[in-house]
Structure 1
C-alpha cells in the first residue's frame, strides 16, 4: 500500500476522536488533543530508517512486550521510546482493527478524563 493511503487511513482514525486536530510537527503529520497534547506522530522513513510507521504513547509495559514478541511490527522509536512510546509499522501487513485500538489507547493516555470517557471502554 502506498504511503499516502496509509497516512489517509491513520488520519481518519485520529481525526474521528473527540477534539483532535492535525498539524505538521518536525516535518510530519501529527495529531493533537485540543491542539496541545500529541497522541500520534506519523513517521515516513524518519532519518532514512526504512520504516513507514507512527509513534504513540502506550500503556505501561506494552512497548516492551510488543517489541519483544513482534519486532517486525513494533519498535522503540527514537526520542520518545524511553518514555514508553510505541513505534508501529505501516509498511507490513497491517491489521487496521488493531491500529484503531492502539490509536484509541494512545488517545486515552493523553486526553483529559472528560474526553477519554467519551470513548467508552
Structure 2
C-alpha cells in the first residue's frame, strides 16, 4: 500500500506540471477513489498509486507510445481496448509527462476550451 505522503507527492507533481502547461479549467478531483485531474468533469489522468498513473489517450497514440517506450508506457488486461494507458511515474521525466498531460487534456477537454482566443 502506498503511504499517503507518497501519493500526495505524486499528485502534486501532476498538478504542478498541469499548471506549468497552463491547461484551462483543470480541477483537482478523484476518480475511482484515487486523486485525478479533470477537465469538463472528465478525468484525463488519475493515480493508481505513487508510481503509476492512468492517462487518457487515443488508441493510435497509446499503441505508438507503448511500442516506442515500453519502459514508460504499458497496459494491463483491464485497459486493453480502452483509450487509456498506464505510465510509470518513477521513470518518466517531467518534460515527457508534461507533454502527455497536454495531450490527455486535449483529448478530453470540451471543444470550447481548445479553441484559440
Q: Same fold (TM over 0.5)?
A: yes
Higher relative contact order (CA 8 A, sep 6+): 2
User: How many angstroms apart in 1 are the aligned matches of 2:15 and 2:69?
Assistant: 24
* Residue 55, structure 1, aligned to residue 54, structure 2: yes
What residue number does 1:9 align with?
A: 13
What residue number does 2:84 align with?
A: 85
SS state at 1:68 partner: helix
1:27 Cα deviation after fit: 2.1
State the TM-score, normalized to the length of structure 1: 0.75
Number of aligned residue pairs: give it: 110
CA contact (8 A) 1:77 1:85 kept: no
1:28 Cα deviation after fit: 0.8
- 1:40 equivalent among 34, 40, 45: 45
State the TM-score, normalized to the length of structure 2: 0.77
Residue deviations 1:44-87, cap 9 Å, x none?
06xxxxxx121122234121122223222111256444222121
